[in-house]
Every structure is written in structure tokens, then in C-alpha cells.
Amino acid sequence: MIREFVNLRKEIAKGKKLAGTFVRIERNPAIFYIAKEAGLDCVVFDAEHGAYNIETLHDLLSTANALEVPAIVRIPEGTKDFVSRTLDAGASGIVVPMVGTAEYARKIAFYAKYPDIGSRGYTSSSGHTQYTSFARHVELMKEANERILVIVQIETLDGVDNVDEIAAVDGIDMLFIGPNDLSVALGIPGDLTNPKELEAIKKVSDAAKRHNKGFAMAAGKGLCEKFKNELDLFVLGADAAMLFSGMKDVRETVDGFIAEKEED
């Protein structure tokens, strides 16, 4: 019996605000036990900047689906190879960076969605079907088209300029802000609260709303708070940063002990 996948698209449609975090260095499937216990709705693996290959992702995604913790993967680019292999491995969604035109968005949707929306190739005995091999092609393709999140990242000037056309593409489910690269494109590197940055983000969130698409952003608490009403998916932090913060806290705690002893 195939375990039912968690459908994040349905959760968003019901008005739920989803919480996730980036995973860039962790390869231990225990990450999903921790995420589930912490109450996260999903994790986002970063295969654009992280050093993940398809074999590693497959093994991690198998555990994610067994534990019913949706895992989205940010892939390096929206080619058929990256899109189809990542989804076949069992990802609950993909994020494609640097999407600047509707034409590119249509190609991504074409590779990611089954007919009649796209032309994704079908196989039954793979991670995305939890290795069932029954003749349920129509049912499984329909389920995948309704569940899988196809997310495009808006972080370039042409992406902002063309955001309405991108958001209108059938098969694109969510617009995702990359605030750091967006600030670089705007000529204000790292100035994430600059009015130019905030105006561009607002333009993207407005386009998502107009076209009934989800809106997501990977950012710190401050920037996410500014757009808390617009966001459907909050991606806060990353595993490396969390480890650094925890280790730094240990150092500062011990230093505090030492300072107290010296005062005595």
C-alpha cells in the first residue's frame, strides 16, 4: 500500500502558512526526524549551492517520504535532466533559480508536469511512487500534477520586469524570492531592506496574488516579517547557520563560566 504524500498545495489553498528551512550540508536522514519533531512543514535542499548529487538526494528523499516530511529541492537549472530526475527521486517540489522569462518558465512546467499540462516522462517503480509498480498511471500522474510544487525563483532584473508573464504560466505554482541575488541585481548588494529591494519584492508578491500562485521567500526574520501577510512559504535559516549559532552559544557560555570564576 503506497503511503499518501503530504500535499503542500492543498495546505496553502486552505490558508496555512508553511514553515521550512534550507539544508545545504546535512546528508544524514535523521534531519527529517528532527524537522518533524520541530514541527516544520517541509525542508528545502539546496542543490544549487550545496554539494548534493542525485544519488544522495534519492536516499534522503526516500526517508522524507516515509516520514511524511515534504522535501523540496532547489536544482541548479531548469533542464529536463535536473527537473525530471529530481522529481522521479521523490521530491515534493522543485525550485528553479534565476528565472527571468515566461518562455523559461514554460519549459520548466513542461518538464515538471505530466500531460495535459506538460510532458514529463512517466515511470512507476521509482522514488516518486514509493516503488509501486501497479498499473495506476493515470491516477498517479493526476495526483502528482495536483501535489508537486513547481517553483520559480525571481532574483534578476528581467525576472522582476517579466513577473506577470511568468506568474501567468500554467504549471507554475509558486514564485520564490531570492533576496540576496535580487539585491545584487538591483545594484545594492546585501541591502535587503533598501526601498528598491522592498519594491521589487512587493511587485513579485502582487503578481503571485493576481495569478493565484503561491509566494515564498528565503530570508531572515526581519524581511519575512515585512511580508508575513503575503507569504505562503517562509524559508528561514539553513543548517550550517544553525550549527554555527549553536556552537557559538557553547563558546560564549563557557567563556561566561570562565569570566565568573576569574571574578571570584
What is the per-residue pLDDT for 133?
A: 64
Farthest CA pair distance, the chain? 75
Is residue 49 part of the annotated active site? The answer reads yes
Q: What share of the chain is helix, strand, coil (3-state, %, to 5)?
A: 50, 15, 35
The residues near 211 (Cβ < 8 Å, ≥ 6 apart) are 164, 167, 168
Q: Which of 141, 210, 223 is nearest to 177 (CA)?
A: 223
CATH topology of domain 8-263: TIM Barrel (3.20.20)
Amino acid code (one letter) for 38: A
What is the per-residue pLDDT for 259?
A: 83
What is the per-residue pLDDT for 132?
A: 76
Q: Which of 134, 54, 132 is nearest to 94 (CA)?
A: 54
CA 119 to chain centre: 22
What is the per-residue pLDDT for 134?
A: 66
- Are 174 and 212 within 8 A, CB to CB? no
- Angle, helix 80-88 to helix 102-112, in steps of 10 degrees: 40
Consecutive 10-residue averages of pLDDT for the chain (264 residues) = 79 95 96 97 96 95 94 97 96 97 98 94 83 78 93 98 98 96 96 97 98 96 96 96 96 91 69
Cβ atoms within 10 Å, residue 260: 9
Domains of the chain, by residue range, sit at 8-263
What is the per-residue pLDDT for 110?
A: 97
Q: Which of 198, 207, 188, 206 is nearest to 225 (CA)?
A: 198
Q: Which of 247, 163, 260, 180 is nearest to 220 (CA)?
A: 180
The residues near 102 (Cβ < 8 Å, ≥ 6 apart) are 162, 165, 166, 168, 169
What is the per-residue pLDDT for 124?
A: 78
What is the per-residue pLDDT for 195?
A: 97
Pairwise CA distance, residues 218 & 98, whole Å: 14
Phi, psi (deg, nearest 5) at residue 248: -65, -40
**Catalytic residue selected from 49, 58, 137, 211:** 49
What is the per-residue pLDDT for 1?
A: 47
What is the per-residue pLDDT for 190?
A: 94
Global pTM exceeds 0.75: yes
What is the per-residue pLDDT for 33?
A: 97
